[in-house]
């Protein structure tokens, strides 16, 4: 190629070389291509010749330029899994599990180094100390772990919990199903603040409960007049609200609103089911009291998951309730949950040694760094197309398309290009938030994130131009 630096044959040859390189890549992949300088040196041509070849491929839609990162190959999948069309959640889950897809839906578990080695080490110590350890499962969970969890939630002599107030289950779904069965909410309604995790929403839906949704305001507050009206006119017996951080919204409820909500719940005698799953993922400490500290303790239940803080090695969920022992204990006995006693005791020892607190501190710093970087990249590449705020914690960003647009068709178009986002309507049983979406870090490297955001920006721009 050296003899043909300046002729048409040179850039056409570079073009064919890049085309063959792309064809050798896995179908549906998104891979970084050689830089202009590297390719010019490799093929012994000028940088302008390589630039010309890349421009041709970009015009054909086969490569994607990403600012400050270079060019990425856009290899179409040979076989894209068909979409069900009607079941948006099924489509999301099906494609998010595919290794060929770039997942920006923000649903991936964000954890640090696994604690499994520490848990296994403690389990071995327990077996050496108690070689005849029988480990008969307890219906509500191991006493040692329940005692540690009760102590973590105790704030004072007035705001305290004991081990008998704590119930453990295999996961959040099993825990909520058992709790709802104990409460017997037939002929009543459940009030839920949205956007809300689709997993939680579908537990209520499967229980055939009437769900009333209260959308969050931009600042994380609620329409208090509407909230009061619903409690006064509807048969609401249970309200599920976040203790601190509302996910995926990423906001904290203002203090004045929290106080007003607590007063209304007390006035109408409504049970509070406080979702504490993401409280430990707040970026900054929030000294203001949680709702459970403001509501009548006789009508407070708090639930969370060990998986959020520890990881998949401890997927167990727990519930705290002071004044519902009879029905709850009966339901847990009927379910007969057989949780590994040795693993529960090992988790309790990690709490006692302060290992989990250290792990959570490192996890918050890790997530804050990633969220800040995601926020900056979104401002750079999507700031003119999406409206969003820096969240107060968690691992994802809730965004609204500035122009009127339904994100469901956008979701399906991006699937054809190998990109997965989470449409906003998934986070409401009523199908609200059509103009919203949830975004988060992919499982890969920063280049994958930049490429995915660039692809999303291009598709948003193309959609608006067509309209």
Output the DSSP codes for 47-59: HHHHHHHHHHHHH
The burial class, CB within 10 Å (0-12 / 13-18 / 19+), for 312 is exposed
- The percentage of residues in the chain with a pLDDT greater than 90, rounded to a whole number, is 54
What average pLDDT does range 89-106 have in this prediction? 84
Look up residue 346 and give its two tokens.
């090992």
CATH code, residues 88-108+362-466: 3.90.1150.10
Instruction: Please give the Cα distance from 270 to 359 (Å, whole number).
Output: 36
Average pLDDT, the chain: 87
Q: In angstroms, what CA-CA distances link 252 with 186, 283, 324, 330?
A: 32, 11, 29, 35
Side-chain-side CA neighbours of 465 within 13 Å: the count stands at 6
What is the chain's alpha carbon radius of gyration, rounded to the nearest angstrom? 26
Q: Going along 50-185, which residue ranges are E strands?
A: 63-66, 70-74, 102-103, 166-169
Q: Are 245 and 394 in contact (CB under 8 A)?
A: yes
pLDDT at 260 over 60: yes
Q: What is the pLDDT of residues 211-236, one digit of tens each?
A: 999 999 999 999 999 999 999 999 99
Look up residue 293 and give its two tokens.
């500290």
**What are the CB-based long-range contacts (under 8 Å, 24+) for 325-334?**
325/164, 327/182, 327/183, 327/184, 328/167, 328/178, 328/179, 328/182, 329/139, 329/140, 330/182, 331/178, 331/179, 331/181, 331/182, 332/139, 332/140, 332/167, 332/169, 332/178, 333/139
- Select from 271, 279, 277, 259 the least CA-distant residue to 322: 271
- The percentage of residues in the chain with a pLDDT greater than 70, rounded to a whole number, is 89
pLDDT at 99 over 60: yes
For 189-198, 303-312, 443-452, which range has the lowest pLDDT when averaged over its residues?
443-452
CATH 3.40.640.10 spans which residues of the chain?
116-353
The burial class, CB within 10 Å (0-12 / 13-18 / 19+), for 271 is buried
What pLDDT does 467 receive? 62
Q: What is the pLDDT of residues 116-130, one digit of tens each?
A: 888 889 988 888 887
Q: Are 300 and 292 in contact (CB under 8 A)?
A: yes
Q: What is the pLDDT of residues 34-93, one digit of tens each?
A: 998 888 888 888 888 888 888 878 877 788 888 778 888 866 654 445 555 578 999 998
- Number of residues that this document lists for the chain: 467
- Select from 324, 251, 262, 254 the least CA-distant residue to 293: 262
What average pLDDT does range 179-196 have in this prediction? 94
Q: What is the pLDDT of residues 406-450, one digit of tens each?
A: 999 999 999 998 899 999 999 999 989 999 999 998 866 666 888
Per-residue burial over 215-236, b = 16 or more CB atoms within 10 Å of its CB, e = otherwise: bbeeebbbeeeebbebbeeeeb
Q: Are 192 and 240 in contact (CB under 8 A)?
A: yes
Q: Are 72 and 32 in contact (CB under 8 A)?
A: yes
**Fold category of 116-353 in CATH:** 3.40.640
Beta bridge partners of 70: 66
Beta bridge partners of 210: 189
CATH 3.90.1150.10 spans which residues of the chain?
88-108+362-466
What pLDDT does 130 receive? 74
What pLDDT does 218 receive? 93
Q: In terms of CATH architecture, what is 10-75? A: Orthogonal Bundle (1.10)
Instruction: Please give the Cα distance from 215 to 196 (Å, whole number).
Output: 9
Question: At 12, is the pLDDT very low, low, confident or very high (cuts 50, 70, 90)?
Answer: confident
Q: Are 395 and 112 in contact (CB under 8 A)?
A: no
At 422 the three-state DSSP class reads: strand
Look up residue 332 and give its two tokens.
């847990």
What pLDDT does 5 receive? 39
What pLDDT does 6 receive? 39
pLDDT at 7 over 70: no
Beta strands 386-388 and 396-401 are antiparallel
Side-chain-side CA neighbours of 113 within 13 Å: the count stands at 7
Question: At 4, is the pLDDT very low, low, confident or very high (cuts 50, 70, 90)?
Answer: very low
CATH 1.10.10.10 spans which residues of the chain?
10-75
What pLDDT does 95 receive? 86
pLDDT at 154 over 60: yes
């Amino acid at each position: 190629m050296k003899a043909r630096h300046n002729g048409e044959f040179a850039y056409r040859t570079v073009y064919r070389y890049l085309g063959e390189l792309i064809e050798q890549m896995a179908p549906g992949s998104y891979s970084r291509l050689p830089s202009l300088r590297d390719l010019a040196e490799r093929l012994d041509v000028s940088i302008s010749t390589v630039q010309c070849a890349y421009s041709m491929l970009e015009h054909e839609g086969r490569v994607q330029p990403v600012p400050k990162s270079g060019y990425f190959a856009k290899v179409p999948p040979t076989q894209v899994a068909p979409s069900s069309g009607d079941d948006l959640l099924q489509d999301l889950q099906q494609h998010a599990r595919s290794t060929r897809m770039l997942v920006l839906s923000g649903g991936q578990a964000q954890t640090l180094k696994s604690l499994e080695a520490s848990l296994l080490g403690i389990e071995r110590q327990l077996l050496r100390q108690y070689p005849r350890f029988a480990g008969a499962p307890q219906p509500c969970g191991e006493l040692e772990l329940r005692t540690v969890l009760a102590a973590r939630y105790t704030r004072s002599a007035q705001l305290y919990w004991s081990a008998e107030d704590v119930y453990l289950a295999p996961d959040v779904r099993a825990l909520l199903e058992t709790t709802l069965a104990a409460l017997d909410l037939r002929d009543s309604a459940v009030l839920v603040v949205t956007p809300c995790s689709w997993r939680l929403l579908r537990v209520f839906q499967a229980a055939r409960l009437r769900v009333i949704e209260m959308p969050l305001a931009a600042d994380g507050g609620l329409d208090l007049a509407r909230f009061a009206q619903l409690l006064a006119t509807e048969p609401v017996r249970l309200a599920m609200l976040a203790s601190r951080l509302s996910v995926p919204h990423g906001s904290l409820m203002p203090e004045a609103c929290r106080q007003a909500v607590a007063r209304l719940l007390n006035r109408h005698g409504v049970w509070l089911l406080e979702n504490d799953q993401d409280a430990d993922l707040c970026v900054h400490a929030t000294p203001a009291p949680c709702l459970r500290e403001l509501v009548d303790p006789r009508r407070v239940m708090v639930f969370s998951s060990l998986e959020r803080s520890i990881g998949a090695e401890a997927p167990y969920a727990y519930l705290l309730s002071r004044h519902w022992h009879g029905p709850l204990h009966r339901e847990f006995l009927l379910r007969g949950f057989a949780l590994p006693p040795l693993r529960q005791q090992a988790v309790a020892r990690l709490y006692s040694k302060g290992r989990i607190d250290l792990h959570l501190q490192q996890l918050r710093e890790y997530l804050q760094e990633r969220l800040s970087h995601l926020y900056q990249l979104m401002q750079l590449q999507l700031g003119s197309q999406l409206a969003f705020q820096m969240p107060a914690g968690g691992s994802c960003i809730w965004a609204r398309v500035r122009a009127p647009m339904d994100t469901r068709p956008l979701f399906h178009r991006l699937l054809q290009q190998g990109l997965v986002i989470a449409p906003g309507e998934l986070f409401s049983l009523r199908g609200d938030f059509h103009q919203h979406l949830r975004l988060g870090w992919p499982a890969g490297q920063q280049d994958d994130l930049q490429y995915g955001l660039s692809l999303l920006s291009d598709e948003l721009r193309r959609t608006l131009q067509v309209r």
